[in-house]
Structure 1
Amino acid sequence: MIAAVRAIENHRLADHSADRRMLMLAAMAIVVGTGGALAAWMLIKLIALATNLFWFGRLSTRSAAIVDTLVGPWMVAIPVIGGLIIGLMARYGSDKIRGHGIPEAIETILFGESRMSAKVALLKPLSAAVSIGSGGPFGAEGPIIMTGGAIGSLFAQRFAMSAAERKTLLVAGAAAGMTAIFGTPLAAILLAVEVLLFEWKPRSFVPVVVAVLVAFAWRPVLLDGGAMFPFPGTTPSGAWPLAMAAGVGLVTGMLAAALSVALYAVEDAFHRLPVRWMWWPAIGGVVVGLGGLVDAHVLGAGYPNIQALLDGSLAVRVILALLVVKAIVWLVALGSGTSGGILAPLLILGGAAGALTGQVLPGGPGFWAMIGMAGIMSGAMRAPITGALFAAELTRHFDALPLTLAAAAAAYAVSVLLMRRSILTEKIARRGRHILQEYSVDPLDLMQADQLMSRNPATLSGSMTTADAATFFADRAEHRSYPVVDDAGRVLGLVSRTDALRWRTMQPGTDVSLTETLSDASLLVAYPDTPIGVVADMMVESGVGRVPIVARNTRQVVGILSRQDLLKARRTQRQSETGRAGSR
């Protein structure tokens, strides 16, 4: 009985401890948010520096556009050189810098106890700057998510923390970095919830919000305080625009599925090459350079292209060329394993698809480009709420939220129907690890012992001798353990088959009653209103597979809960999702 009270009290104290840890993590998130903002500023400067060095031969951190350089055959050589540098950095530095960062962050959270290395924190932004600066068709968001996450993880590792607490600070740093780059605090928080945290708890949510707000406060000082992609225009109203937005969502959802399939087909093709993986980014650089010869706008992050799409200033043939060529160079470059993000390319491709459909829709191509961006982000990343809000925050067109939500939901539905996994989790699944991006409440946290316990369980009398108990377990026992009760049915303890084996070795005539073998201090019981999760914790900590359920006032045994009974909670949840029944 004492053990039961202690277990329930420990559960209550754990809740209070979680509250204190939440406040501690929120305070630490101030530091992490500042680190994420500074990392974003540093990454932007590094990209500008690399762009100036590669394309203009000057040492400067001022923003520069690759399209301003002269077109020539050497445009193919620069992406190749960048790919060679990245391959060497990955081979002799850390292969964690390969890819677009978000799958690596997810994998670290779920399978690496949220521990990132200082090497990744240093090499990821450097490799991304080289990649984007040499013409790689990527954005800064994937690298900054990885870099900001590394900052949060490294800071957490300076203290004695659990893996869950390290995860909170890792995600806080990632969301802070994204906020500093794009100025989208709400979307960054939702991205953390939908893609990175794999939970919705105050312990993680509050610190992430703190880090994001800190980074948002730093943004006007370090980068720019306004909307990243403002554009004029009004939002169409009525039912038809909502239906049209859903239609654009269907188109971009299918585009997202096609891009995901194509990406991993390209990646498989690189794996079949008879050369070491460190040379793949250079090979991909050849295709990037050739794409640059076709249209230099496909090189680099392409943020001016996003702005041009939203402004509606591009001709149809230019939009079509941008869609096709950008998709090819991005898929090949990313499939080669170089370093870069997926969000900016997705925004360009979704924006181009939306702008093309917007040629015949009310509101103008620019407005529908924004709707396309919401749709493709939702479809590719399986983050519909993030996609809907991200497009509105980027442009400050919050009045378009119903339409971006319609597009995001439609694209999400298409993505789920056409793809088993998102473009992010497919990469992890190819490493043999399945990721489920669906949240549900643990049934063990919803139910109480009274709902699952086996009632009127078989018991043993406290007056039974150990010799008789040993014979009972040898001949008639159906379970591994039984509650022992007194004449009034009050629980005295629990005896098991292990106890019976020990009693069989005792000398004849030395047996005693079961009451004399039991200790109240070791008795593990629960009450009818005890949460199932608490009982499960008791079983894990004690190794006992059956816990008696007793009336709180009388201590009479009213039921017993076994490990098998805990599986009933899972079965009940499954039946509620799959069972079909008509009206009664």
Structure 2
Amino acid sequence: MASISANSPPRRLADHSADYRMLLLAAMAIVAGTGGAIGAWVLLKLIALATNLFWYGRLSADSTDIVSDSIALIVIVPVAGGLIVGLMARFGSDKIRGHGIPEAIETILFGESRLSPKVALLKPISSAVSIGSGGPFGAEGPIIMTGGAIGSLFAQMFRLSAAERKTLLVAGATAGMTGIFGTPIAAVMLAVEVLLFEWKPRSFVPVVVAVLVSLAWRPLLIGGGPMFPFAAPTPPGSSAVAIAAGLGLATGVLAALLSVLLYAVEDGFHRLPVHWMWWPAIGAVGVALGGLVNVHVLGAGYGNIQALLDGNVAVRLVVALLVIKAAVWLVALGSGTSGGILAPLLIIGGAAGFLFGQVLPGDPGFWAMVGMAGIMSGAMRAPLTGALFAAELTNHMGALPETIAASATAYAVSVLMMRRSILTEKIARRGRHILQEYSIDALEFQQAGQLMTRDPATLPGDMTIGDAVRFFEQQAEHRSYPVVDPAERLVGLVSRTDALRWQIAKRSEGRLAEALSDASTQYAFPDTPCGQVADMMVESGVGRVPIVDHESRRVVGIISRQDLLKVRSGQKRVEKARSRGKRRPAIDNPRLR
């Protein structure tokens, strides 16, 4: 079993290379950020190329809107695009289906952050075909998947852990989002609220590096400045924040309704007696019908967003845009085609805000921006991302109080009305529940001295092996015991397994301390975080860890698996138990006395 010298130096209980790894990942994030920015540029060019080919029959990568009065084109082009996407998904990779963010989350949490070269190649192409042929999507979901694939592929070239690959995957994804929209702060918050599932320097710093690198590339590749600038000022008076919160309430309800309808449509497609390869083409029929009513619902619709913010669009057209855009987006996305959700949500939320703005003080364009923040937050369960995204996208950072009010209210409504966000519901339907809540790990902020059983039973090192075997046969209450020298200093740990081995070997002579020859006994100090103690148990397979004094090396306590489990139950009790007045701290910390 295990033994240590009484005078041995303290074992290093923490990985002090974490700072080095953070710096290494930050350096690698420069490449991921560059790749994300270039990926954004390529995606935009592919969308423009597909749009020109499908609608105007010309080979050009210049950005253009879909404006057509040809009934034949409006009917045929979306269906053709849907058919192409279905074929690419069937014979290329089914990972290109959907809007990209749930697939990225699933890869992060369940796929060790490994994306294939197929995804990196096919996702932007399929999204360009889908959007260019009239699909009512934006480029943000595809670029998150594409940028993530670039970061993941780069990470797979090196010997990295799954957590480190995740960092570079998210770095590439957020760099791509920054390249498209020029919203670095919102991109970082998207990483924190939606993609990383942690808050650590190891992941946060590289993501920020990648985002800033992408932002530096953006003026050279795509162009500088806000994507949707507009001049509407913040309404005067102190009531704007309260009104924004009310608008957040409305957009939160709308976001919940959209999520319910989306998955109802998806369920409908699953009931069709045809292979899912044909679903995008079938969904494109609904897109074509919507295009016949209002051609402006086709494509990403960035021009519609700008028109809503500028306030130069008729109310009846906004109503049509709100209803028809929502309908065709739900049908197309429910069919499993390739495209994003941000641009449609911005249009739908912006249209709702614009309509409310007809009776609210100030410019309707300002309330369109607030509506965008609210619906994005309500749908994605990312309130800080929604608030910052709307403000950065329009260069209205002064409107942050209003956007955060709308985002927080919409978020609260979404939590009350929906079990999951529009993103995580898709993953849950595959049997994988994801909780988008962060909380403190009680094991990480408690120390071993607070949790240990003091003055534990020990065995003397000069005990004979025969006596030790008889002790485990007749008296032992635990599976293992610390072995100490005459000064109560730790020598090692003896277990019931050791006693059984000695019994089988009919070994009874010799001292216990001499039989423990392995020098790898896990031990901790009173100030060791309990999380590290739990890691020791996992690594060693031993369910009890001795706690020794820093100076004397005397055994002062012991921690078992059961002690660690009690921490979790105590944390649950603190969250749920309600009382009045003063009470003792839930954790008996001697330092608090």
Please indicate the TM-score interval, normalised by the length of the shorter structure: over 0.9
Contact 1:452 1:568 in 2 (8 A): no
Query: Aligned partners of 1:8, 1:219: CA distance in 2, in Å?
Result: 50
1:4 is displaced (CA, Å) by 11
Contact 1:3 1:522 in 2 (8 A): no
Counterpart of 1:414 in structure 2 is: 413
In structure 2, the CA distance between the partners of 1:85 and 1:520, relative to structure 1 (3 Å rule), is closer
Matched, 1:253 2:228: no
Q: Secondary structure at the match of 1:360?
A: coil
Matched, 1:316 2:315: yes
Query: Aligned partners of 1:411, 1:7: CA distance in 2, in Å?
Result: 55
Query: Aligned partners of 1:505, 1:539: CA distance in 2, in Å?
Result: 26
Counterpart of 2:512 in structure 1 is: 514
List per-residue Cα deviations over 1:167-203 (Å, max 9, x = no partner): 1111111111111111111111111111111111111
Contact 2:248 2:374 in 1 (8 A): yes
Matching residue's letter, 2:124: P
Counterpart of 2:39 in structure 1 is: 39
1:45 is displaced (CA, Å) by 1.0
1:39 is displaced (CA, Å) by 1.1
Counterpart of 1:528 in structure 2 is: 526
Query: Aligned partners of 1:122, 1:224: CA distance in 2, in Å?
Result: 24
1:353 is displaced (CA, Å) by 0.9
Please list, as runs of the form range in 1=range in 2, the aligned pairs for 1:548-563 lying within 5 A after superposition. 548-563=546-561
Counterpart of 1:491 in structure 2 is: 490
Contact 1:124 1:143 in 2 (8 A): yes
Q: Secondary structure at the match of 1:55?
A: helix
1:164 is displaced (CA, Å) by 1.2
Contact 1:266 1:332 in 2 (8 A): yes
Q: Secondary structure at the match of 1:63?
A: coil
In structure 2, the CA distance between the partners of 1:481 and 1:222, relative to structure 1 (3 Å rule), is same
Please list, as runs of the form range in 1=range in 2, the aligned pairs for 1:215-230 lying within 5 A after superposition. 215-230=214-229
Query: Aligned partners of 1:39, 1:579: CA distance in 2, in Å?
Result: 50
Counterpart of 2:588 in structure 1 is: none
Q: Secondary structure at the match of 2:528?
A: coil
Counterpart of 2:20 in structure 1 is: 20
Aligned Cα RMSD in Å? Answer: 1.8
Tell me whether 295-304 or 156-165 shows the greater mean CA deviation: 156-165
Matched, 1:164 2:163: yes
Counterpart of 2:403 in structure 1 is: 404
1:520 is displaced (CA, Å) by 7.4
Counterpart of 2:62 in structure 1 is: 62
1:5 is displaced (CA, Å) by 10
Q: Secondary structure at the match of 2:519?
A: helix
Query: Aligned partners of 2:6, 2:421: CA distance in 1, in Å?
Result: 44
Q: Secondary structure at the match of 1:502?
A: helix
Contact 2:33 2:214 in 1 (8 A): yes
1:315 is displaced (CA, Å) by 1.8
In structure 2, the CA distance between the partners of 1:6 and 1:314, relative to structure 1 (3 Å rule), is farther
Query: Aligned partners of 1:30, 1:519: CA distance in 2, in Å?
Result: 49
Query: Aligned partners of 1:315, 1:295: CA distance in 2, in Å?
Result: 14
In structure 2, the CA distance between the partners of 1:57 and 1:475, relative to structure 1 (3 Å rule), is same
Q: Secondary structure at the match of 1:193?
A: helix
Counterpart of 2:184 in structure 1 is: 185
**Number of residue pairs aligned between Structure 1 and Structure 2:** 580
In structure 2, the CA distance between the partners of 1:148 and 1:5, relative to structure 1 (3 Å rule), is farther
In structure 2, the CA distance between the partners of 1:473 and 1:344, relative to structure 1 (3 Å rule), is same
Query: Aligned partners of 1:500, 1:48: CA distance in 2, in Å?
Result: 74
Query: Aligned partners of 1:3, 1:25: CA distance in 2, in Å?
Result: 38
Q: Secondary structure at the match of 2:358?
A: helix
List per-residue Cα deviations over 1:48-78 (Å, max 9, x = no partner): 11111111111111122112x2241441111
Counterpart of 1:479 in structure 2 is: 478
Write out the 4+ residue segments of structure 1 that deviate beyond 6 Å after TM superposition.
Answer: 3-8
Matching residue's letter, 2:555: V
In structure 2, the CA distance between the partners of 1:92 and 1:486, relative to structure 1 (3 Å rule), is same
Counterpart of 1:338 in structure 2 is: 337
Contact 2:269 2:335 in 1 (8 A): yes
- TM-score normalised by structure 1 residue count: 0.96
Q: Secondary structure at the match of 2:160?
A: coil
- TM-score normalised by structure 2 residue count: 0.95
Query: Aligned partners of 1:575, 1:456: CA distance in 2, in Å?
Result: 28
Matching residue's letter, 1:555: R
List per-residue Cα deviations over 1:327-354 (Å, max 9, x = no partner): 1100000000000000000000011111
Query: Aligned partners of 2:455, 2:262: CA distance in 1, in Å?
Result: 59
Query: Aligned partners of 2:81, 2:548: CA distance in 1, in Å?
Result: 70
Counterpart of 1:349 in structure 2 is: 348
Query: Aligned partners of 1:300, 1:422: CA distance in 2, in Å?
Result: 24
1:2 is displaced (CA, Å) by 4.7
Tell me whether 521-530 or 225-234 shows the greater mean CA deviation: 521-530
Tell me the percent identity. Answer: 74
Counterpart of 1:391 in structure 2 is: 390
1:276 is displaced (CA, Å) by 0.3
Tell me whether 22-31 or 364-373 shows the greater mean CA deviation: 22-31
Query: Aligned partners of 2:519, 2:416: CA distance in 1, in Å?
Result: 56
Contact 1:7 1:538 in 2 (8 A): no
1:536 is displaced (CA, Å) by 1.7
Contact 1:374 1:408 in 2 (8 A): yes
List per-residue Cα deviations over 1:494-552 (Å, max 9, x = no partner): 211111212323448x4333233234724332211112122222222222111111222
Matching residue's letter, 1:148: G
Query: Aligned partners of 2:172, 2:381: CA distance in 1, in Å?
Result: 21
Please list, as runs of the form range in 1=range in 2, the aligned pairs for 1:108-507 lying within 5 A after superposition. 108-507=107-506
Query: Aligned partners of 2:248, 2:467: CA distance in 1, in Å?
Result: 73
Tell me whether 56-65 or 234-243 shows the greater mean CA deviation: 234-243
In structure 2, the CA distance between the partners of 1:365 and 1:478, relative to structure 1 (3 Å rule), is same
Query: Aligned partners of 2:171, 2:7: CA distance in 1, in Å?
Result: 37
Tell me whether 531-540 or 412-421 shows the greater mean CA deviation: 531-540
1:581 is displaced (CA, Å) by 2.0
In structure 2, the CA distance between the partners of 1:181 and 1:4, relative to structure 1 (3 Å rule), is farther
Contact 2:233 2:363 in 1 (8 A): no
Matching residue's letter, 2:541: G
In structure 2, the CA distance between the partners of 1:7 and 1:86, relative to structure 1 (3 Å rule), is farther
Tell me whether 387-396 or 489-498 shows the greater mean CA deviation: 489-498
Matching residue's letter, 2:225: G
Contact 1:492 1:520 in 2 (8 A): no
1:463 is displaced (CA, Å) by 3.8
Q: Secondary structure at the match of 1:230?
A: coil
1:238 is displaced (CA, Å) by 3.7
Query: Aligned partners of 2:420, 2:200: CA distance in 1, in Å?
Result: 25
In structure 2, the CA distance between the partners of 1:281 and 1:523, relative to structure 1 (3 Å rule), is closer
Counterpart of 1:50 in structure 2 is: 50
Q: Secondary structure at the match of 1:492?
A: strand
Q: Secondary structure at the match of 2:42?
A: helix
List per-residue Cα deviations over 1:63-94 (Å, max 9, x = no partner): 22112x22414411111000000000001111
Q: Secondary structure at the match of 1:548?
A: strand
In structure 2, the CA distance between the partners of 1:507 and 1:103, relative to structure 1 (3 Å rule), is closer
List per-residue Cα deviations over 1:287-335 (Å, max 9, x = no partner): 0000000000100000011011111112221111111101110000000
Q: Secondary structure at the match of 1:66?
A: coil
Unaligned runs of 5+ in 2: 583-593
